[in-house]
């Protein structure tokens, strides 16, 4: 692996909300097929970074570049709705599903950008539109099987337990063939069994879908188990980025979490 081989690279990214600097001169990069955890105390700016990467915030300074099969792109040149076409899919901290659609239909929304037919073709149910719908339905069932929730496919998403809803969101990201999957607190609110299962699933996503994964998580046990590397930040400032073991023993990180020893 070459040294400058990356999927996502943040270069001196700063994001200000009025007088508040949420992210301050942050730089780090993610290698292909790497699982990177982003940790930091509450209010450290983790979700802000996610929103900058996915272009929900487009007023940040610095550069965020993303490398897919066609080469390197500056994400700032793309709108929020175009980011998924490049190969970045994400989940949300507060689950964002359509409660009154079936689980399967929710997954199919994730393939929205891969459709080639438009509304006129849908109205007339042209053979092409039908075939496409069918293919994507099958792909969605595959994604559900992958997450072990295919038995729930015809139920409403709104009535599912929290852990299942989290899985639906992750399954949805798989539909767009992403190069990079961004997970915002995937293990929050899960019990120990579910967390263990999620761990295995995330590894399988990396191996079978060939995607890099960037995740925010407060469950340190989970982060230490799953991540190849961990990036720690505090008050929007970069603290350290290293293997989980080394991060655990890093003095700056310990200080950020536990306070300074007197």
Q: Measured from the CB atom, is 43 or 158 closer to another protein?
A: 158
Please identify which residue in 39, 97, 168, 241 interacts with another protein, judged by CB under 8 A: 97
**Termini Cα distance of the chain:** 43
d(CA 117, CA 126): 9
Q: For residues 62 and 14, is the Cβ–Cβ distance under 8 A? A: yes
Selected from 14, 68, 113, 155, the binder of another protein by CB under 8 A is 113
Residue 37: CB minimum distance to another protein, A: 20
**Counting contacts by CB under 8 A, is residue 57 touching another protein?**
no
Residue 25's SS3 state is strand
Specify the residue, 168 or 247, whose C-beta has the smaller distance to another protein: 168
Where is 233: in which H helix or E strand?
Answer: strand 229-234
How far, in Å, CA of 32 to CA of 121, rounded?
38
Query: Which positions from 127 to 146 touch another protein by CB under 8 A, shown as an x/- string?
Result: --x---x-------------
Q: How far is the CB of 219 from another protein (least distance, A)?
A: 23
The answer to the question of residue 90 lying near another protein (CB under 8 A) is yes
Residue 200 binds to another protein (criterion: CB under 8 A)? no
The stretch near another protein (CB under 8 A) out of 90-98, 190-198, 199-207, 244-252 is 90-98
Selected from 24, 32, 57, 92, the binder of another protein by CB under 8 A is: 92
> In Å, what is the CA distance from 8 to each residue of 32, 83, 211, 242, 259?
9, 13, 12, 16, 31
DSSP class per residue in 16-80: EETTEEEEEEEEEEE-TT-EEEEE-STTSSHHHHHHHHTTS----EEEEEEEETTEEEEGGGS-G
Least Å distance between CB 118 and another protein? 8
Residues that bind another protein (CB under 8 A): 54, 56, 80-85, 89-90, 92, 96-101, 105, 108-110, 112-113, 115, 117-119, 122-125, 129, 133, 172, 176
């Amino acid at each position: 692996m070459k040294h400058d081989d990356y999927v996502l690279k943040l270069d001196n990214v700063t994001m200000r909300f009025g007088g508040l600097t949420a992210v301050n001169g942050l730089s780090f990069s993610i290698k292909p097929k790497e699982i990177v955890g982003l940790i930091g105390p509450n209010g450290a700016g983790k979700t802000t970074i996610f929103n900058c990467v996915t272009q929900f915030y487009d007023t940040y300074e610095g550069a965020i570049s993303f490398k897919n099969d066609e080469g390197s792109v500056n994400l700032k040149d793309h709108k929020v709705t175009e980011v998924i076409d490049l190969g970045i899919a994400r989940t949300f901290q507060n689950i964002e599903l359509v409660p009154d659609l079936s689980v399967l239909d929710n997954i199919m929304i994730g393939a929205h950008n891969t459709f080639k037919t438009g509304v006129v073709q849908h109205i007339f149910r042209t053979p092409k539109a039908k075939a496409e719908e069918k293919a994507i339905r099958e792909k969605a069932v595959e994604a559900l099987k992958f997450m072990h929730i295919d038995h729930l496919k015809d139920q409403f998403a709104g009535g599912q337990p929290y852990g299942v809803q989290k899985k639906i969101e992750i399954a949805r990201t798989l539909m767009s063939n992403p190069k990079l999957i961004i997970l915002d607190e995937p293990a929050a609110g899960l019990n120990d069994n579910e967390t263990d299962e999620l761990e295995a699933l995330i590894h399988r996503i990396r191996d079978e879908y060939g995607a890099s994964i960037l995740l925010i998580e407060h469950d340190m046990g989970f982060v230490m188990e799953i991540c190849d590397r961990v990036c720690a930040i505090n008050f929007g400032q970069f603290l350290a980025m290293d293997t989980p073991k080394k991060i655990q023993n890093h003095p700056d990180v310990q200080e950020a979490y536990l306070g300074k020893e007197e």
